[in-house]
Structures are given as structure tokens and as C-alpha cells.
Amino acid sequence: MNLARCLLGAAFVAFAVPAWAGATCYSPEQMQAEQLLRLHSELMVITVTCRQGSEGQDLPAAYGAFTQKNIHLLHNAEQTMIAYYKATTKGDAVGHLDHLRTLLGNEFGQKAADMSAPNFCAAYRDKVLYFAGAPQTDVDTQVRRMEISDRSYAKSCGARKTFVAKKGG
């Protein structure tokens, strides 16, 4: 029994380490960047899973509107994470960003699987519609909330700063 626990624990560590490998800590900007990408991934999973809002609205159009409205902010978040991966890991920084995006999508996709699609959509479908039309302050507020309540793939290095989109990418 003890041997089985040790092997199980070793297997868990072996699978858990790659997601955290090289991740010393995030600066406030990096933490906000990951959380913005997390929000974007959540909206994508909701869109793909549910396809329509509670009153038949087109979620792919709403997701596209959110993405377009926040394209500079999303681009800057991706560039922030690429710079982080270049500084903290060996290999392809863009590949690490792609892996992060996959992890974020899979995390929220697992929530959909755990809840069942009908229950998941009943709970989350209108989140896409809300953020498609939300003012930037609401997006910023959500990202700050996510920094506090959601996990991230690195711990925070220090105090939080406001993540601001740079115009022109």
C-alpha cells in the first residue's frame, strides 16, 4: 500500500512538473497577461460548446467581436508571455505560449465536461455576450478578479500593476 502511494505520488510529480518547469514567478504584468489569455480561452470554450446565447444569440459572432475589440490587449498579453518564456525556458517561446493556450482551454473545457454541456451552457453561455459588449473597465476588473481567484502557472513575484494595452501592437 505504501509503495503504491509513493509510485502514485511520483507519477503525479512527473506529470505536474512540466506545466511549472522553468516558471520561477510572474511579474504583475505577466500575471495579468496570463489571466487575460485565460479569460479569452474561457470565452472560446463557451462559444464552441454552446454556440448560442440564452436567447439564441450567435456566440461565435460575439466571441469574434470580443477578440476584435481587444486585439491589441490580447496581442500584448501574448508578447508578454513570449518574453517570459524566452527569459525562463529553453526552446521555442511561441511553442510554450501555444502550450499555455492549450492548457487554459483544456482547464475550462474540463469544467464543461464535468458539468455536462447543457448545465455548463446554462451557467456560462451569456458570459460571451456580456464581455463582447462590456466596457474595457469591466474586462480589466474581471482580469483582476481572476488574478485573485484563479490559479496560474507561476506564482506572483510581487505587487500588481495595471496591464494596459499598447496601441498599434
Domain assignment present for 169: no
- Domain interval for residue 114: 25-149
What tens-digit pLDDT sequence spans the chain (169 residues)? 433 333 333 333 333 333 434 447 999 999 999 999 999 999 999 999 999 999 999 999 999 999 999 999 999 999 999 999 999 998 899 999 999 999 999 999 999 999 999 999 999 999 999 999 999 999 999 999 998 876 788 888 865 444 444 444 4
Answer yes or no: is 91 within a domain: yes
Assigned domain for 9 exists: no
C-alpha 5/C-alpha 133 separation (Å) is 50
Q: Quote the pTM value.
A: 0.78
Residue 66 falls inside a structural domain: yes
- What residues have CB less than 8 Å from 116, skipping those under 6 apart? none
Residue 88 lies in a domain: yes
What's the number of domains the chain is made of? 1
Residue 7 lies in a domain: no
Position 63 in a domain:
yes
Q: What DSSP letter does each residue of 44-96 carry, written as one string?
A: HHHHHHH-B-TTS-BHHHHHHHHHHHTHHHHHHHHHHHHHHHHHH-SS-HHHH
- The DSSP secondary-structure symbol of 148 reads H
Contacts with 19 (C-beta within 8 Å, 6 or more apart), sequence order? 103, 153
